[in-house]
A and B are shown apart, each in its own frame.
Chain A
């Protein structure tokens, strides 16, 4: 499989580091997240807690992000997505839902460094002050002119996802925002 996949760019070393991630397994699940039977069925295959609004939950197997009141994004290692999709399909059975593999529709980037917050604040209209955006939160937003979502893995590391077709644009604009000399020093 891996020999079928084209390779990503080398990382950009700015005042934070911007790197394209290896392909990540992603499933879009739409369904009634307020329905107890739906949640019960879902929990058979989803090991993490289900995220509340604007949150992301993680365990060693997967992450689950809240996309909208009726949509979750489930992240797994790329090679496990088919298995999880089948399990979910089975667990949800005849309930009303939509489950789709979107692993290839999106790409992800890791932005790491002490000033990761302010680099994101140059592109996304999101309050990134430490007491307003913390690891565990998830935000669908825009980065410059493109749709994106991101979350913090730690105080010094963020993951950013966007559509595959604009991967190069995202990488370039993150790199521009991380350009040495353009530090804002907003939270340091």
Chain B
């Protein structure tokens, strides 16, 4: 059983007891514990069920590589699934539940999958996609897929706070172990800005556990002294609980700071995402120990040798009383020695190497530990706990030589440098056949925008083990990164005195299928040695294919433990060399980061910017129903109590047509174009002739893209000889301004024209209806008579006490003035109009009334009648296309054969026989079918409304040969299969001669 030891535990504070719950059971731990160490201290060795077979699983590792210890953490708004217990710091009141079990962790029905294992081979889902088809829907999907899976999806809104931070450094050193500390010191000594980060809450990395001496003192002293020195350096920033998640081009880097995961009661943000630009990045990320592949290597109690050492030294926790150590390298002997020194039994060290280990092995033997060389574990016995191991010869097929009873197995298959960050941005790897690992290829590092290396790996992450070697490497790599010629004076440090490792990818080497199908490679995704071999046998030879076929390394741990073992197994099955097989791609993030940290502060009212006009507060107070238009929210209508939106729109239209309506038109784009060449520029931008427009006059114009398609429309006012004000659609303002600037900056850079987007400078109100002039005359200030300001003219002046520019333009067909006042006066102006307009029947109207009134006049809407494939000629707008101009944007495109094709659908009005409203987007049905067996179509509805003015449905649409088919009836298909006949008519339904607007 696992338990708390009476001594040891350098990271815990036994004076501070902490209580927590696991699966509802109350447990206690100490301050400084990880959830994993606290669970082990409470003899909770079973921490979860495996993904596919629901096998009982225990803690394997002690850090971010842990594959099994995933829990649902927290409750309600703080609930989060798949949290690693090894990196979760214990806090008072922590509540965790284990995952992937039903009905309970101890008794799990899904374990039946385990006995069905031979029916759930690699590529199971892919095979079952093929046949039998009905099985997929009725058996596999509901039952097997349901039983596979990890944590639950959160149900409540996350109530934590997150934020981003932009930060800039000359050097970022990732990893706070001996190599990282030395690298930060070396970089910091140059005076450069340095950030040193450590993902754990404590500094020093593995060294304080593994031991050794620097400058004749325990390594802990070096850690403390270097840390003290770094803290005094103003140019060095130190952060713990900070993980470098990813490295990208141009020195961009994402850091994930877990601010109060260890104390959720605090008011601090939970996570902060650092968005960093780094000059150079030094990855001192250490190395991860690999498991060994033997039958039963996933039974709770089988643990990485280094992790077991961590639990004993850091937390004073043992996993078992009798531990068998199994290894192919010297490092695992440290665990045996640590255990023995802690008073625990080590009945046997199984060393797969025929000649065994070096000095550490001698030390272990001197402590009285039995060492067997050239041996292997044939099988681990036990179900929810280790009971014993069978020993065999590594060279054989698994014939049992003896059985050793034990309750813990510490395994070590060698170490793999953490090359993830090195690889994110293109750093290449080399297979080191002596050390049996992939190490960064220093000749093929990640390159920056200048083609120079910008990521350097140092220490164990660079394949340098032994304190002397990794200190030296940290200094060398940092020197290369800083370009400094000075080599720092390094203290003497313990050398690495170890016998060579031997590659062991299967234990025993000749294990048969029975053993291989119980030897786990990927604990989290339940992939066994036999699965990878099957994939190879079935032709999945590429490592990327084998990965996807078997799901090796595709779980939340991204194969931190399984990657190298898996591809070595694949190489073995293919009879290829490991470097030939290669690795799968290392992608950010290093470990999963919270969704909340990615969103940052963008939630609630600052989820997305919402643009508001100066009169928005009034609209909101009236309970206006808003619709999004670009990033604006515009009133769609102003419904009154008991009124539907449709009823409100009808009321607003009737009131405007008969009395007086007000529209907040502030969102329309207003772009100033000025300069000696402005006329020339305007003639190029618009299809119409704009240069001839007289000062004081307005003209409606169309803008096309280079490809001839209608892009935007609006009224242009000529302000003075060399200045125009271009009105654009609401959504088009920024786009059209950018369009203008692009042409000016890239093509016509020698034209003397400047533009400015003045959209937000003005609040603009359309005063519309027969009483429009009366209300403005009542406010007084300027002459707005027909004689003083004719239709399509503008003037500056005063309306009441407001500074106003008045445009006499109309999109409704009524007498209409659009009045621009400085935005800061907008709300007061709006209120003044409402007050003065009361006796004239004033009523605000929304965008839907605007649309209907436009449609009644047959005016097109950008985005309704246009969709990026429509040219002005399709819409009968030939009158707005200059024939005199030699060129304008879109002109040449509009001369192409497809654009001049008489078969293009053209704009007409559509009138249903029964007065009903045609469905929006409905297609007109032609005769016969197309090559795909679909009905041929001859037109479609582009806008359709109920017209309160005509008291019937009206519509516009694009119809084949439309304008020459006036009076003809065509049929539109409805989604229910029925058809609506509609007559082709002129699209101008209301006041075709424009008498109403011209009074």
B761/A105 in contact, CB under 8 A: yes
Q: If the complex has contacts A105-B761, A181-B266, are A169 and B610 also in contact, measured as CB distance less than 8 A?
A: yes
Contact of A124 among B166, B237, B632 (CB under 8 A): B166
A100/B672 in contact, CB under 8 A: yes
Q: If the complex has contacts A23-B824, A100-B756, are A127 and B168 also in contact, measured as CB distance less than 8 A?
A: yes
Tell whether B424 is near chain A: CB-to-CB under 8 Å.
Answer: no
For the complex, give the distance between the alpha carbons of A100 and B824 in Å: 16
With a cutoff of 8 Å between Cβ atoms, the chain A residues found around residue B675 in the complex are: 96, 98
B237, chain A: closest CB distance, angstroms:
7
A135, chain B: closest CB distance, angstroms:
19
Tell whether B248 is near chain A: CB-to-CB under 8 Å.
Answer: no
Tell whether B167 is near chain A: CB-to-CB under 8 Å.
Answer: yes
Which residues 744-797 of B have a CB within 8 angstroms of A? 752, 754-756, 758-762
B760/A165 in contact, CB under 8 A: yes
With a cutoff of 8 Å between Cβ atoms, the chain B residues found around residue A125 in the complex are: 166, 275
With CB as the reference atom, state the residue of chain A lying closest to B759.
Answer: A105
With CB as the reference atom, state the residue of chain B lying closest to A181.
Answer: B267
Q: Of the listed stretches B5-13, B171-179, B600-608, name the one at the interface; the rest are far from the partner chain.
A: B600-608
Tell whether A58 is near chain B: CB-to-CB under 8 Å.
Answer: no
Taken residue by residue from 112 to 141, chain A's Cβ proximity to chain B (1 for < 8 Å, 0 otherwise) reads as 000000100111111111001000000000
A184/B272 in contact, CB under 8 A: yes
A6/B609 in contact, CB under 8 A: no
B225, chain A: closest CB distance, angstroms:
24
Enumerate 8 A-B pairs (CB-CB under 8 Å) in ascending A order: A102-B761, A103-B822, A123-B164, A127-B277, A129-B193, A163-B611, A172-B606, A176-B163
Which residues 146-168 of B have a CB within 8 angstroms of A? 161, 163-168
With a cutoff of 8 Å between Cβ atoms, the chain A residues found around residue B614 in the complex are: 6, 164
A120, chain B: closest CB distance, angstroms:
9
Tell whether B226 is near chain A: CB-to-CB under 8 Å.
Answer: no
Taken residue by residue from 85 to 96, chain A's Cβ proximity to chain B (1 for < 8 Å, 0 otherwise) reads as 000000000001
Known A5-B824, A126-B166; further 11 A-B contacts with Cβ < 8 A: A6-B617, A96-B675, A98-B674, A101-B761, A102-B758, A118-B165, A121-B167, A166-B611, A168-B610, A176-B163, A177-B601
With a cutoff of 8 Å between Cβ atoms, the chain B residues found around residue A43 in the complex are: none
B906, chain A: closest CB distance, angstroms:
38
For the complex, give the distance between the alpha carbons of A105 and B758 in Å: 7
Tell whether B801 is near chain A: CB-to-CB under 8 Å.
Answer: yes
Tell whether B656 is near chain A: CB-to-CB under 8 Å.
Answer: no
A106/B760 in contact, CB under 8 A: yes
Tell whether B613 is near chain A: CB-to-CB under 8 Å.
Answer: yes
With CB as the reference atom, state the residue of chain B lying closest to A32.
Answer: B752
> How big is the A interface, by class?
35 or more
With a cutoff of 8 Å between Cβ atoms, the chain A residues found around residue B237 in the complex are: 186
A46, chain B: closest CB distance, angstroms:
18
B272/A164 in contact, CB under 8 A: no
- Interface residue count for B (Cβ, 8 Å)? 52
With a cutoff of 8 Å between Cβ atoms, the chain B residues found around residue A100 in the complex are: 672, 756, 758, 761
B761, chain A: closest CB distance, angstroms:
4
Tell whether B836 is near chain A: CB-to-CB under 8 Å.
Answer: no
Tell whether B444 is near chain A: CB-to-CB under 8 Å.
Answer: no
Tell whether B802 is near chain A: CB-to-CB under 8 Å.
Answer: yes
For the complex, give the distance between the alpha carbons of A186 and B608 in Å: 27
A4/B165 in contact, CB under 8 A: no
With a cutoff of 8 Å between Cβ atoms, the chain A residues found around residue B161 in the complex are: 179, 182
A122/B824 in contact, CB under 8 A: no
A93, chain B: closest CB distance, angstroms:
13
With a cutoff of 8 Å between Cβ atoms, the chain A residues found around residue B613 in the complex are: 165
For the complex, give the distance between the alpha carbons of A35 and B828 in Å: 43
A169, chain B: closest CB distance, angstroms:
4
Contact of B164 among A28, A96, A122 (CB under 8 A): A122
With a cutoff of 8 Å between Cβ atoms, the chain B residues found around residue A186 in the complex are: 165, 167, 237
Which residues 227-250 of B have a CB within 8 angstroms of A? 237
For the complex, give the distance between the alpha carbons of A118 and B168 in Å: 12
B752/A96 in contact, CB under 8 A: yes
With CB as the reference atom, state the residue of chain B lying closest to A182.
Answer: B269
With a cutoff of 8 Å between Cβ atoms, the chain B residues found around residue A70 in the complex are: 754
With a cutoff of 8 Å between Cβ atoms, the chain B residues found around residue A101 in the complex are: 761
Closest 9 CB pairs of A and B: A98-B754, A165-B611, A104-B823, A181-B267, A105-B761, A127-B168, A105-B760, A30-B754, A4-B825
With a cutoff of 8 Å between Cβ atoms, the chain B residues found around residue A97 in the complex are: 754
B876, chain A: closest CB distance, angstroms:
35
Tell whether A37 is near chain B: CB-to-CB under 8 Å.
Answer: no
For the complex, give the distance between the alpha carbons of A125 and B274 in Å: 11
With a cutoff of 8 Å between Cβ atoms, the chain A residues found around residue B167 in the complex are: 121, 186
A176/B601 in contact, CB under 8 A: yes
Tell whether A77 is near chain B: CB-to-CB under 8 Å.
Answer: no
B332, chain A: closest CB distance, angstroms:
42
Tell whether B268 is near chain A: CB-to-CB under 8 Å.
Answer: yes
With a cutoff of 8 Å between Cβ atoms, the chain A residues found around residue B269 in the complex are: 179, 181-182
B681, chain A: closest CB distance, angstroms:
12
B828/A145 in contact, CB under 8 A: no
With a cutoff of 8 Å between Cβ atoms, the chain A residues found around residue B759 in the complex are: 105
Tell whether B545 is near chain A: CB-to-CB under 8 Å.
Answer: no
Tell whether B676 is near chain A: CB-to-CB under 8 Å.
Answer: yes
A121/B266 in contact, CB under 8 A: no
For the complex, give the distance between the alpha carbons of A132 and B235 in Å: 13
A122/B165 in contact, CB under 8 A: yes
Which residues 591-644 of B have a CB within 8 angstroms of A? 601-602, 605-606, 608-614, 617, 632
Contact of A169 among B165, B606, B823 (CB under 8 A): B606
With CB as the reference atom, state the residue of chain A lying closest to B823.
Answer: A104
For the complex, give the distance between the alpha carbons of A103 and B822 in Å: 9
B755/A98 in contact, CB under 8 A: yes
Q: If the complex has contacts A100-B758, A102-B761, are A121 and B166 also in contact, measured as CB distance less than 8 A?
A: yes
Tell whether A53 is near chain B: CB-to-CB under 8 Å.
Answer: no
Tell whether B827 is near chain A: CB-to-CB under 8 Å.
Answer: yes
Tell whether A55 is near chain B: CB-to-CB under 8 Å.
Answer: no
B605/A104 in contact, CB under 8 A: no
With a cutoff of 8 Å between Cβ atoms, the chain B residues found around residue A146 in the complex are: 609
A104/B760 in contact, CB under 8 A: yes
With a cutoff of 8 Å between Cβ atoms, the chain B residues found around residue A132 in the complex are: 168
Which residues 4-29 of A have a CB within 8 angstroms of B? 4-6, 23, 28
With a cutoff of 8 Å between Cβ atoms, the chain A residues found around residue B266 in the complex are: 181
B749, chain A: closest CB distance, angstroms:
11
For the complex, give the distance between the alpha carbons of A169 and B601 in Å: 12
With a cutoff of 8 Å between Cβ atoms, the chain A residues found around residue B828 in the complex are: 3-6
A59, chain B: closest CB distance, angstroms:
25
B606/A173 in contact, CB under 8 A: yes
B754/A177 in contact, CB under 8 A: no
For the complex, give the distance between the alpha carbons of A122 and B617 in Å: 29
For the complex, give the distance between the alpha carbons of A107 and B761 in Å: 10
Taken residue by residue from 261 to 301, chain B's Cβ proximity to chain A (1 for < 8 Å, 0 otherwise) reads as 00000111100100101000000000000000000000000
With a cutoff of 8 Å between Cβ atoms, the chain B residues found around residue A126 in the complex are: 166
B172, chain A: closest CB distance, angstroms:
14
With a cutoff of 8 Å between Cβ atoms, the chain A residues found around residue B610 in the complex are: 166, 168-169
A184/B165 in contact, CB under 8 A: yes
B825/A5 in contact, CB under 8 A: yes
With a cutoff of 8 Å between Cβ atoms, the chain A residues found around residue B275 in the complex are: 125
Q: If the complex has contacts A98-B755, A132-B168, are A4 and B762 also in contact, measured as CB distance less than 8 A?
A: no
With a cutoff of 8 Å between Cβ atoms, the chain B residues found around residue A127 in the complex are: 166, 168, 277
B272/A165 in contact, CB under 8 A: no
B802/A4 in contact, CB under 8 A: yes
B168/A129 in contact, CB under 8 A: yes
With a cutoff of 8 Å between Cβ atoms, the chain B residues found around residue A163 in the complex are: 611, 760
Taken residue by residue from 811 to 846, chain B's Cβ proximity to chain A (1 for < 8 Å, 0 otherwise) reads as 000000000001111111100000000000000000
With CB as the reference atom, state the residue of chain B lying closest to A101.
Answer: B761
With a cutoff of 8 Å between Cβ atoms, the chain A residues found around residue B829 in the complex are: 4
For the complex, give the distance between the alpha carbons of A70 and B756 in Å: 12
B572, chain A: closest CB distance, angstroms:
48
Taken residue by residue from 797 to 808, chain B's Cβ proximity to chain A (1 for < 8 Å, 0 otherwise) reads as 000011000000
B822/A122 in contact, CB under 8 A: no
Contact of B268 among A23, A98, A182 (CB under 8 A): A182
With CB as the reference atom, state the residue of chain B lying closest to A167.
Answer: B612
